[in-house]
Structure 1
Amino acid sequence: MVSMYEDAFKQQPNNEDLGSQTFFANVRIGNWKAAQQIATKMHKQFQEEHYLYWSIMSAFLQANDPSTPEMLRTVLLKLAHRLISSASTPSYYSADRFHLHLTILRDLGLYDEACQMLDSDAGKTVCSASLSCDELRREIWKLKGLTKEEGERAQKRIVEAKDRNWLEFLAVLDAAFADVAGQEVDEAKKAACSEAVAKTRELLAQIAEEDGRRDRSGLLALLELEKRARAHNVSIGPSELQDLLQRYFQRVGDKACCFEDLKPYIDLQDDELSTWSAFLKSQTSPLATTEDLWRYINVQKLLRYNLSEAEVTVELETARATEFLNAYFEGLKLGKDLPDTELQPADDLAVLTGQVLVNLWKLSGKLEYLYHALSALEYASSRSKHSFRIHLMLVRIYRLVGAPSLALEHYRAINVKQVQNDTLSHFILSRASLFSLSSVGDLTYSSECMEASQIYMSNSQETAEFIVRAFSTEKYSQIPDFIVFEDRLDNSLQRDLTKIEHVRMRIAHEQINSDLVDMELIELKFIFDRFHHDNRDFEVQPNYQPRHLPTFDQQTLLFNKTPGPGWLSIFLKVYIRAFQLASDLDDTVEDKLLIGDRPKPSNDPENRLPLKERLAKRKQEELDELTPDELAFLEFATALSDWLAPYHDYARPPPSAVLAEAAKQTELKTGHPLKGLELPTNGSATNGHTKKDEEPPTVQEPPAAVTKFFDNMSARFNDLVQREVLPHEILLVSSLTQEALILLSIETMRFKNAAVVKQNKFGALVQSFKEIRQKAAASLNEMAATLSKLGEKDATVEGRKAFVAACKPVWESSELDHDFVSTVSKKVTDAKKQIFEGVAKGICRVCKNHTS
């Protein structure tokens, strides 16, 4: 597209529309240097000032591009500064032009010039009408060291204009502690700070009194003031925090925001904690109104946060779960007339109940508490269909008990949209290949991976258009944010974690052939070069566990580990190496055959190392993200690749032969020759290797890490089954064992050709493959038989009765009835049977496909 518009503009240099489209084409791909040159040319030719600002913005963006050298960055910023300073119309005529001018001055460190602009009447007018300019003004004043002046300005806004923007309160607080913000603090500075704190306290107390229940900013600012005063040893006394906490709760305790507001200020100890807890316990009352209900909920959250280790026992937690569940049913009466589209005011009590029950499971190790949680939360979700917090809790617990189909139902009930696919999909797609039944043709989880990945395709197309539109309408303040947004999505960690999971599902479902191998190899190499951004949201699920315990999110993690950059790096290395061995594409062939734009590589110095060296690296922080079973799989995969690499390198056709075959196939399919290739003129296209006189490598015995892997995994599997661990632990061992067999199949694909084996004298090598496959088949078939039995175990009348009996404390002590729990038990046991039997059948199918 860029080439097309550039050629057209050269042919019609007086066509303004073609010039704009050429500029936009370069903007879409982030080619800021070319964009700046085109905009400069257009400004000179058409004398439109917005073209000058396009040029300035392009120079600024080029300066901030990660690929721009540091010395050139300064030159570009100075160029942008000279152009914007010499513009015929001052920048303050437009808020976005003014914002661009200030940003350039900030990046050049010209704070005096920036402050001069801001202090002008025009600058003040722009900042008063533009939030983005005012935010930038705050930043510049802070960099200039005008913290106290900003505090005075903010105080004036709060008092005279009744501005309750929290940023204004933070500016006042920062100013109060400006004297002790540096590293060297003497008694004089401490005294000045103490005096400033006293004045600020008086001001905030007055505001809090004036605002009453209308606005909580004043009270919250007083709490923040006291927290900072304690940190700097300028507090007026130990009772101040208690008084403020109690005042805040009395005024805001009946609102949903109370707990989250107070959480940063209630890390209390000893007498302070006793006084605070006693106060909270005195605040409970009958649940007659919604306000009473919220006050009760906030009391329980605040009390629970500060529970000591001695107060978190099975007996006490059981009593709390019963109390919260009964209070939930009592609170439901207050929302009985609400439509289905509304959330129940008692929802947080169901969440509290679920989190207490999960903690009981962690304390006791008894699975029945997870069944209790499922029953209570399923009922809550039926009464509050749009509570994403309840749905997400159910997703996490269903994955723990081995019911992935039900987890997916609740995830889909959240109706995730747009960029939420990037921030929330980790709830369902983290280690999704564990629960995939793609090996038997059930592509549900595979399809979910594809659907969740649509946002990345949309981002590549749509965000570039947003940037173009921002240039068209001169919304310069928005452009850097769009670029950051596009980059964070393009290089999303979750995007590529999902990709790896999809690859693992795909190879279990599809026939392994050269097209699959080549395509995945190219894409995984692109991913390997990226610097990843972790956009996953781990805070969306609230945590109401005591502060000394792991969070609910941590408690419900599979294997107590979150796959991150290290996990991704390890699996990328495993699969890139495997696909490299199976593929005929080397870098030379890939460069000649690959058509289209390549992703921008990361500037990480490590990326400059040879790919072979990077693939061999094993960093400890990467290994720490793996489970012991995944470490065993890594050892197998590494040993397998090291063993087979010499034979692949010898038998692989030379690049000239690969290109000749590609040219031949292209001409057969299209009727046109493949252009730009230098094809061989001799017979080398048919040779298995380039040196006819070179002896093939001697066939070595397979390493112990390869030959013993399947026996070791079989023993590990049997041990887990006997210990009756959670389903995902058993499924991990069986899926990794299956994956190892598929990996063996991928890396031995070249040697299925009898001619290659005979020509290279690899008969003994092929015999080794047969022996390894036999071991793999024996282990996997045994696992499949055991998994089938496990699937049948719970999905019987007796199994369902046992589930209901285990939940008896829940439905006997609350309004949950026996029939509802029975329905839940049937859903859970059927889902567990589906996954166990499906995986078992899949293993049998994989064995048949890869050992025959």
Structure 2
Amino acid sequence: NSHQGYLQEPLYGESCAALCNRCACSSSYVDYLDNGNNKMAIQQADKLLKKHKDLHCAKVLKAIGLQRTGKQDEAFTLAQEVAALEPTDDNSLQALTILYREMHRPELVTKLYEAAVKKVPSSEEYHSHLFMAYARVGEYKKMQQAGMALYKIVPKNPYYFWSVMSLIMQSISAQDENLSKTMFLPLAERMVEKMVKEDKIEAEAEVELYYMILERLEKYQEALDVVRGKLGGNLSKGLPAHSKVLILFLSCFCFSSDDWQFYMSYFDSIFQLIDSAWTPPAEGEHSPEGEVHYSADQAVMFVEERLAEESKSSRPLRGPYLAKLELIRRLRHRGCNGEYKLGDPEELMFQYFKKFGDKPCCFTDLKVFVDLLPSTQNAKFINQLLGVIPLSAAAEGKLAVPADIKALQQHLCVVQLTRLLGLYHTIDKNQKLSVVRELMLRYQHGLEFGKSCLKTELQFSDYYCLLAVHLLLDMWLEAGEEKAVWQSLTLLEEGLTHSPSNAQFKLLLIRIYCITYSTTPSGG
């Protein structure tokens, strides 16, 4: 593996043929597996394993065949038999990596190479594989540690700056901005300053990282001094370092089509380049590291390519669909209405609901983008969603209810969107009470699906009860309906009998009891 570049990925997706050749598997097995004849490949692997039962690489390659024929459980069991032995031969490690990749279990690759590094602590290759494995799952703290461990073994600048970049990513992903500016970025700054003082800065990317750190710390004078000084001679002219490094970082880490943080960083970076009006040179490469996206057209193409890849994926990925909505939002904010023909947000959200509406995350995904909907279309949008939910055929006077948990999750998502869009706010008192009664009937029906739930688990239909309570609280807080507050207390106490671990029930009860106590004469 070449380690001359920065954040250059070691071997990850080697073909089965190359692996088979190295671990002495039969050529017929190689042909079957690489040509998609997985059943015959499994048969050939079984023949090989009868002669060499301890040939771990062949066992994992059989697991790949099982995985590709839909026998995921058998494949996983077989793979774990090999993984439990903590192999250190490159053939088994690469085969397991391919298998875990196809299973969409990148976290297992980290465990694989953690064990390999413990057994062979001096291996540059295994340490670099471990670093990249952490990168794929966003374990930035462990990336930092792996980068420094690698640098101690092989003191090359790229490995040192892998660790620096990991600190920057920790600062970007930190929930606490103060923590970012008082711990992660200052530590990254000190690490780079150490290399500057020792005159060990060798490459443009190292200077760009330094510039990025100073910029994020708002040390603009120091950043300007870097650009104008000796180190600035290594920078490509005219390209904003912050945006360039982030885009290259994303591409070098094998962009994950389902990683939301990467999409946000990509959009932030490309629009910074657009705002700076940067364009690539007329001749030659955009930068020594490769092509840099710098226009809205490229961002649109990038998202469309991710969607095309998603259509070929073995499992649905939410990221590309949400990225399209995010790009529409950003383009609209810049006054680009319909110019790039990304589609109607209402239709895109409807298609997203049809694909992911049975997931509990669907509501939290879509609520971010409801501002893209015209307010006059809110009721139409909700009815459109309701129209695709499979509810049982209702007898006269009876409520149409979901037949299974997936349909229940879909309906819950729509009810939450209905409240978010303000459709409950416009109805009168009697209509609200009618909605409360309907929600509680749905709540009680949904309890049928949670009969096997443990006391520490939430009931699937808890949100119906919560929404009913919030409607009652609206009536109390907005119109002074005292009866509504006592009814809400009754519903919450009922909810706790079925979901004693529901924190939202408990918090609402505490809130209501505190308010009612403080507003009652003499606190009685």
TM-score (norm 2): 0.49
Q: Greater relative contact order (Cα 8 A, min sep 6): structure 1 or 2? A: 1
When Rg is computed on C-alpha atoms for both structures, the one with the higher figure is 1
TM-score (norm 1): 0.31
